[in-house]
Amino acid sequence: MPDAPATPAALVANLSALYRRDPALAMAVDLLPDAATLTCEASRSGALTASRARPDGQTLYLHSRYDPVAEARRLCQSVANAESPITVLCGLGLGYEARALLDAQAPHGVVIVSEPHLPTIRTAFEHADFSGDIALGRLIILTRLDKQMLHECLTPLSALLMLGTKFIVPPAAQAIDADFHAACRANITDFAAFSKMSLLTLVANSRVTCENIAANLPAALSSPGVERLAGRFAGYPAIIVSAGPSLSKNIDLLANVAGRAVLIAVQTALKPLLARGIRPDFVTTLDFSDLSRRFFEGVPDLGRTLMVAEPKAAWAVIDAFRGRPGPKARPVMMLDNEFARRCVGDALAARAALPAGSTVAHLSFYLAQHMGCDPIILVGQDLAFSGHVYYTPGVAIHDAWAPELGRFCTLEQKEWERIVRHRPILRKVVDASGRALYTDDQMFTYLEQFERDFAACPFRVIDASEGGAAKHGTMTMTLDAAIAAHCRTPIPPERWTLRDAPWPYDADRVAAGREQIVRRQADLAAFRRLCEQTADVLVRLQAALDDPPRFNQLIVRVDELRTQVCEHDRIFRMVCDVSQLAELQKFSADQRLAVSKADAGRRARDQLARDRRFVASLLDGCDALARIFDLTLNRFDAELAAAEARP
């Protein structure tokens, strides 16, 4: 307990656990001199309290001088029985609040402590044993306002963060290091918003995502992946062209960099570039929606532009870019994907991977890193509503709006309407000059991810957008200056051989992929029968809740079915992939059950209700996966027919 005398054993145990979880913090605490601890004294109740000197020289007690244990319990009582699995505690003190929270939470609960004062951490470690909680990842201590470190710590907790986060700010944290604690709370809140957005997108789009991945298999298997691009342009600049409002300022300058920089366009910027006769070297796509097809419809000759796509991209988009199935299709390079591997096996589907990105701009950035480009220059990457508009002129959405435009409805008005439609999620950020401008929650989460990526990037990153939100981790330059400084030397012709050489086409791999899908269909039929049997047993279990002998007999049958399901692990995972909402609902129900104080009978009913909902969702997922397999076989047949018909 924190009120115990300081002991070397507690400090050693805590540091030993922390060295395995956070070696840098453990070393920083370990290297403190023995005297670098807080002044402790007994409270009236006998439990220890501690004090720190404030910046103004006054002494601040971190806990009550009467009964610090009771104070901590009262402070934590509001969240002790809450379903929120994560609690953020501002200030560690002697650890009373942290211990009260850890003891009250379910075994999966996590306490995140913001504490910049290393002597406070050492003092707490000397008086209380947190080693078990640190080892299990249930106690995390943040000592710096480092967004990259924060993302690394919190990424494994993304699903838990979405279920709810509580904040506790003891009185001492409001009086000392208050700015640090406030910034930590803001950073964690922003990360939770980013996690929620990412997870909701995953859940909402899981089915169409799996359909796209499977439907894109013929295109993926017939072409090589981005492994051929690894390091190909090492040391040469890349310019990533996004379609933010600022692109209109200097898009014409990009006509002068052909052959002297690798030009990577996001799909929304393709038409504005082609309208000016600028053909990018690469175009990227990852959007699951068929609406993205409009970015490629009616475009002039793309020449030797290569597409790099995540397999989840809408298959209609891939078709629009390829032009036709078979050997004469325009080249597309697909990335590695776990669902694709489950569909056709590692031997066929394995290829190089890039980090998962939220947008085509992120994908383009990872592609530039993969190719070794240095520097990486960003253009049109506003991540905000520069000039109170959404897009650069000439994008596909402007064509869609054209019938509505007239004397009383201008393009600028349509742009502003699109922005203010999302008024509840608007927020202000600053640009590179310190001026305020609007962005929204979605783009803010994209900015957060970019800043994490910039911090980890081994290459120089230049923001030459000349507009939009300020981006930490970049150098700010005008595009003209960036081109003059970094795009002077022609890239040697041998670097472009992959783009310029005839594209290889492997029909045998396509045929092998089709055979694998036929096998998955048979696996799915067997798995569905097991789900139907399980659903029937769960209904009978519900009826036998008041008949223990019958209930136990049926549990044996459930265990038998569970064993058989384990033998179909691949197809089970595929069904779960198309039923992400069911997975999330089960996860949420598990967390509620973990903190439930219901009696055994009520608990059994809640568990059965959870399991019945989950199995029903699995059956629905089986039907969805069967439809996906049917579509995929049709697309394999079309690809093979085109391959056989070539002259």
Give the pLDDT score at 585.
67
Confidence grade of residue 461 (pLDDT, cut at 50, 70, 90): very high
> Is the domain of 301 the same as that of 416?
yes
Question: Does the pLDDT of residue 597 top 70, yes or no?
Answer: no
Residue-wise pLDDT tens digits, 232-275:
999 999 999 998 888 888 899 999 899 999 999 999 999 999 98
Cβ burial of 473 (10 Å; 0-12, 13-18, 19+) is middle
Residues 170 and 91 sit within 8 Å (Cβ to Cβ): yes
Strands (E), 62-138: 86-90, 110-114
The Cβ of residue 20 has, within 10 Å, a number of other Cβ atoms equal to 10
Mean pLDDT of 531-558: 83
* Portion of the chain with pLDDT greater than 90, in percent: 44
Phi, psi at residue 311, to the nearest 5°? Answer: -60, -20
Does residue 528 share a domain with residue 413? no
- Domain co-membership, 23 together with 140: yes
| Residue 288 belongs to a domain | yes
Same domain, 519 and 453: no
pLDDT of residue 514: 96
Of the given ranges (87-96, 132-141, 551-560), which has the lowest mean pLDDT? 551-560
Q: Which of 388, 419, 415 is nearest to 404 (CA)?
A: 415
Q: ∠433-434-436 over CA atoms, to 5°?
A: 120
Contact in structure between 345 and 514 (CB atoms under 8 Å): no
Give which of 466, 424, 417, 427 is closest to 447, Cα–Cα. 427
**pLDDT confidence of residue 297:** 82
Task: Say if residues 617 and 581 touch (Cβ distance below 8 Å).
Answer: yes
CB atoms within 10 A of CB 193: 18
> pLDDT value at position 280?
95
Long-range own/partner contacts, residues 78-81 (CB < 8 A, 24 or more apart): 78/166, 79/104, 79/166, 79/168, 80/104, 80/105, 81/595
At how many degrees (to 10) do helices 23-30 and 118-127 cross?
90
Query: Residue 485, Cα to own-chain centre: how many angstroms?
Result: 34
Are 153 and 256 in a shared domain? no
Structure tokens at 358: 């939220």
C-alpha to C-alpha distances, 487 to 320, 365, 469, 497, nearest whole angstrom: 32, 18, 25, 20
Give the model's pLDDT for residue 591: 65
Q: Is residue 2 part of a domain?
A: no
pLDDT for 593: 61
Q: What is the mean pLDDT of the chain?
A: 86
248-252, 305-309, 348-352, 586-590, range with the lowest pLDDT: 586-590
Q: Does residue 1 sit within a domain?
A: no
Same domain, 603 and 560: yes
Whether residue 303 is found in the same domain as residue 449: yes
Q: Can you tell me whether residue 439 is helix, strand or coil?
A: strand
At 12, is the pLDDT very low, low, confident or very high (cuts 50, 70, 90)? very high
Is there a domain that residue 169 lies in?
yes
Are 59 and 163 within one domain? yes
Provide the pLDDT for residue 326. 82
Q: What is the pLDDT of residues 111-122, one digit of tens each?
A: 999 999 999 999
Name the 3-class secondary structure at 54. Answer: coil
Q: How far apart are CA 96 and CA 398, in angstroms?
A: 59
Residue-range definition of the domain harbouring residue 630: 507-644
**Residue type at 5?**
P
Residue 289's contacts (CB-CB under 8 Å, 6 or more residues apart) are 314
State residue 364's pLDDT score: 97
Is residue 223 domain-resident? yes
Neighbour tally for 643: CB within 10 Å: 20
Angle between helices 441-456 and 178-204 (to 10 degrees): 110
Burial of 591 (0-12, 13-18, 19+ CB in 10 A): buried
Which one, of 457, 432, 309, 451, lies nearest residue 376 by Cα?
457
Q: Give a yes or no: residue 3 inside a domain.
A: no
* 606-615: pLDDT as tens digits: 777 888 888 8
User: Is the pTM higher than 0.75?
Assistant: no
Q: Tell me how many degrees the CA angle 365-368-371 measures, rounded to the nearest 5.
A: 150
Domain boundary among 168, 202, 236: 202
One domain, residues 56 and 191? yes
Confidence of residue 6 (pLDDT cuts 50, 70, 90): low
Residues 477, 575 within the same domain: no
At residue 433, the pLDDT reads 75
pLDDT of residue 296: 85
pLDDT above 70: percentage of residues in the chain = 90
Query: What is residue 350's three-state secondary structure?
Result: coil
Q: What is the CATH number of the domain that holds 101?
A: 3.40.50
* CA distance readout (Å), 58 to 52, 55, 61, 303: 8, 7, 10, 72
Average pLDDT for residues 306-330, to the nearest whole number?
Answer: 90
pLDDT at 325: 84
H or E stretch at 426: strand 426-430
pLDDT for position 479: 95
Domains of the chain: total = 3
Q: So what's the pLDDT on residue 390? A: 64
Token reading at 146: 């480092």
Q: What is the pLDDT of residue 371?
A: 97
pLDDT of residue 443: 82
432, 511: one domain:
no
Residues 457, 369 contacting (CB under 8 angstroms): yes
pLDDT digits (tens, 9 = 90+) for 419-458: 677 667 777 778 777 788 877 777 887 888 899 899 999 9
Kindly indicate the confidence band of residue 140, based on its pLDDT and cuts at 50, 70 and 90: very high
Mean pLDDT across 321-327: 84
Final residue before a domain boundary, out of 202, 223, 257: 202
Rounded distance between C-alpha atoms, residue 647 and residue 642, angstroms: 10
Contacts of 79 (CB under 8 A, 6+ apart): 87, 101, 104, 166, 168
- Which H or E element spans position 51? strand 48-53
Q: What is the 3-state secondary structure (H, E, C) of 253-269?
A: HHHHCECCEEEEEEHHH
In a domain? residue 367:
yes
Residue 492 within a domain: yes
Q: How many whole angstroms separate alpha carbon 367 and alpha carbon 310?
A: 11
Q: Which of 202, 224, 259 is the last residue of a domain?
A: 202
- Mark whether 353 and 416 lie in a shared domain: yes
Q: Is 603 left (phi over 0), alpha (psi -120 to 50) or beta?
A: alpha
Pull the structure tokens for residue 621.
């997922």
Give me the torsion for CA of 270, 271, 276, 282, rounded to 10°.
20
